[in-house]
Structure 1
Amino acid sequence: MLSTTDTRTIILTGDRTTGPLHLGHYVGSLRNRVALQTIHEQYVLLADAQALTDNADDPAKIRHNVLEVALDYLAVGIDPELTTICVQSALPALAELTLLYLNFVSVARLERNPTIKDEIQIRGFGRDIPAGFLCYPAAQAADITAFRATLIPVGEDQVPIIEQTNELVRRLNRQSGRELLPEAKAFVSKTGRLPGVDGKSKMSKSQGNAIPLSASDSDIEAAVRRMYTDSNHLRASDPGRVEGNVVFTYLDAFDPAVDEVADLKSRYRTGGLGDMVLKRRLAAILREVVGPIRERRAELARDPDFVMDVLRTGTTKSRATTERTRELVVDGLGLFRLDW
């Protein structure tokens, strides 16, 4: 019988491989992953199978971006000696656990999940929802429990997924009559979701309002010039709004001089501070943030064998980990097993 006791804090996080990562990912999760890897056991999942749920018409895009996202991970400082980086589709236990878990949740419960409801509306699926997309909470539960993860860094909008994962865990634990799987806690970044440069929605590759981690200095400057500020702030002498002002949102996220930013906000509210002064400051800060990442990424891209070796090593380790959990769940539920 496999042991179900594990007192370590295990982190699982990851990204859908639909395109290279951007500053929204950096603020929302990547910085935390770099910090957390030194104090906890951390797995980072390249979620290519999940990316396919609403990109089934373009699997080549998903395949290509596995390496692109892996490059971003390594470039920001995720260390494969400290963090296990793995490919979702190469871990068959995740798909098997998803199938098992779907027997313990109703379609109605999946549809009520706030995260899924919002994403369905954003994508305009109506009732033409890909089944794989609807079943995302069960698949996410499979990912989390397969690694026996207990701490999940997520955005506020993803918290309902963790709650539904724990519902499934409790159901499975009751079914087996023992604590088969641990519950997980959401770790929500103090920095909220970074808006797109247009100020109309979250930063997103598909919306064309993102600053990628590979952006050139000129790309950064062009993006900052386009940033939404306050449409009523026509002259530097006019009082301006800080709330909803994308430039100030980015300064709050990236500018280390907190007191100076507070002073800029005060001056902007009362009048006497032009938008271009703020934008020049922000562009300089973002160049300093992105520049080293971009250079490191370009260096890594010249050694694809190294990147592939990182993925093979991490996925091999993860396959063993997730297979042990699959066996544990099969035993706990009393399913038939063949002794080969």
Structure 2
Amino acid sequence: MSEQRPIVVSGMRPTGRLHLGHLHGALANWVRLQEENTCFFFSADWHALTTNYHDTAIIKPAEREMFVDFIAAGVDPEKATIFVQSEVKEHAELYLLLGMITPLGWLERSPSYKEMRENITDRDLALYGFLGYPVLMTADIILYKATRVPVGVDQVPHLELSREIARRFNHHYGPVFPEPQPLLTAAPKILGTDGRKMSKSYGNTIDLGESAESTTKKIMGMVTDPARKRRQDPGNPDVCGIFYLHKVTSDAETISWVDVNCRSAGIGCVDCKKKLLEKLLPEQERMRERREALLARPGEVDALVQLGTSKARAVAARSMDEVRAAMKLKLA
């Protein structure tokens, strides 16, 4: 991979099976990005502790499943570096150093900090690690001198905080880090079975490669337009999670058919859901087959991750040599 290519960094927390939101919101984009960028895609296992500190036993098993999902979705370990965050200790060192210069007020205004504290009520999130996760996220990104970070529109404020932290570091110690630019993903937000954003934290997901029976049950039970009470009432697909899935799964003709007929009450929600399943179920089956083939060869997957982690560690070590020198923390 050429050093001249744009550098892309992104990661996911291993807190459970990946789902359709991950596929259409991130993984499909990663597969495209790996062709023309130097990509680092990682398991954010330390980030998983911010909300799953109470059940750490699930993290490592979920991590292997997650890497299987990466590869099954088309991430190529020969084109992109896949690795484990906690096995590159430089992430922790840079996190600590950035924490020394990050104002508390910057962290308290983070939109996701407020959102998750409101939505996750079954555990205490009034914790230093949860408040400070944007600093760790910044370390993850700038450690590899990332120039582009794939994000959805709702994540742009998070990246702007990382840019501010990188800017503050460069102001104090000299121009070590580029300010990463947002690389907006084309996919719309994917709604879960309850009408909220699809998220493991909310328990409203449809997992990648989930069985036909389970996928069908979840789709048929999904929340649609809450204002559409009767079959003959016109609907609004713009607020419907099923239509969001059509937009990333179905062809243009089907999307148009759903849009027109939902608004005119030409079809009911059951018709719309069945049409989605015609395309979604075969895709789920293909993903299930690829996942099972990879899970049958766990040693191969582990070796690919270990190789990627070694590559990431070498890049991170070079960056931290620069950081220590810039901060005068390194003996001449």
TM-score range for the pair, normalised by the shorter chain length: over 0.9
Taking structure 1 as the reference length, the TM-score comes to 0.92
Q: Give the count of matched residue pairs.
A: 330
Q: Which amino acid aligns with 1:221?
A: T
In structure 2, the CA distance between the partners of 1:161 and 1:265, relative to structure 1 (3 Å rule), is: closer
Q: 1:135 aligns with which of 128, 132, 150?
A: 132
CA contact (8 A) 1:45 1:87 kept: yes
CA contact (8 A) 2:117 2:125 kept: no
- Offset of residue 231 of structure 1: 4.7
Taking structure 2 as the reference length, the TM-score comes to 0.94
Distance, in Å, in 2 between the alignment partners of 1:209 and 1:249 is 15
- Offset of residue 185 of structure 1: 0.8
**SS of structure 1 residue aligned to 2:247:** helix
Q: Deviations over 1:90-123 (max 9, x none)?
A: 0100000000001111222211222323223333
Residues 1:222 and 2:220 aligned together: no
Residues 1:175 and 2:172 aligned together: yes
Q: 1:188 aligns with which of 184, 189, 194?
A: 184
Q: Which amino acid aligns with 1:57?
A: H
Structure 1 unaligned blocks of 5 or more: 1-5
CA contact (8 A) 1:238 1:272 kept: no
Q: Deviations over 1:146-199 (max 9, x none)?
A: 11111111222322221111112212212223x211110111212222011221
**SS of structure 1 residue aligned to 2:166:** helix
Q: 1:332 aligns with which of 317, 320, 326?
A: 326
Partner of 2:208: 213
**1:2-81 → structure 2 map (5 Å cutoff):** 7-81=4-78
- Offset of residue 240 of structure 1: 2.5
Q: Deviations over 1:219-273 (max 9, x none)?
A: 11111110222355455443223231222221112112x1332233222222231
Q: Which amino acid aligns with 2:325?
A: D
Q: Which amino acid aligns with 1:98?
A: Y
**1:1-340 → structure 2 map (5 Å cutoff):** 7-124=4-121, 129-177=126-174, 179-199=175-195, 201-231=196-226, 233=228, 236-256=231-251, 258-337=252-331
Moved more, 187-196 or 88-97: 187-196
Structure 2 unaligned blocks of 5 or more: none
**SS of structure 1 residue aligned to 2:39:** strand
Distance, in Å, in 2 between the alignment partners of 1:232 and 1:114 is 28
Distance, in Å, in 2 between the alignment partners of 1:54 and 1:206 is 9
Q: Which amino acid aligns with 2:193?
A: V
**SS of structure 2 residue aligned to 1:190:** coil
Identity %: 35
Distance, in Å, in 2 between the alignment partners of 1:254 and 1:85 is 26
Distance, in Å, in 2 between the alignment partners of 1:8 and 1:254 is 31
Distance, in Å, in 2 between the alignment partners of 1:45 and 1:172 is 24
Please report the RMSD computed on the Cα atoms of aligned residues, expressed in angstroms: 1.9
CA contact (8 A) 1:115 1:157 kept: no
CA contact (8 A) 2:209 2:288 kept: yes
Q: Which amino acid aligns with 2:190?
A: L
